[in-house]
Amino acid sequence: MNEAQSELCLYWLNPAAWDELEVEIIQAIPLDQWLQIRQRFGYEVAILAPEASIIGGPGDGGQVIAVDTPSRQFFIAPPAVIPHLADLLPLEDYQLLLERTPAAAALVATATTTEMRSSE
């Protein structure tokens, strides 16, 4: 994991507040730690409705995602985190998430262009 990725985090939301469409952050969780926990327990990740876009505050421009634990949990995935979710979602869901998150789509496009240039 590179240094930039280790600085990324997701924001764990209070599920009761989110059920009322209120954003109440319980804790910021570093991306690498979040990925390890998700993998260890085999939790599935799901996207939510387009209304789950975050405007302002931590995660501005990101999306709320769901993680199917024994009790469903919700996390804000800032735009810089979304490309790291590619292998955790069905391709159609990931593409939809990128469409809903222009800042994340721009990061993916930049990374793809850089990879293409370095392979030439």
What pLDDT score does 1 carry? 42
Domains in the chain: boundaries: 3-118
Alpha carbon distance 12, 53 (integer Å): 15
What pLDDT score does 7 carry? 76
Per-residue pLDDT band for 111 (boundaries 50, 70, 90) equals low
Cβ-Cβ contacts under 8 Å for 120 (sequence gap 6 or more): none
Q: What is the overall mean pLDDT for the chain?
A: 88
Alpha carbon distance 88, 29 (integer Å): 17
What pTM did the predictor assign?
0.85
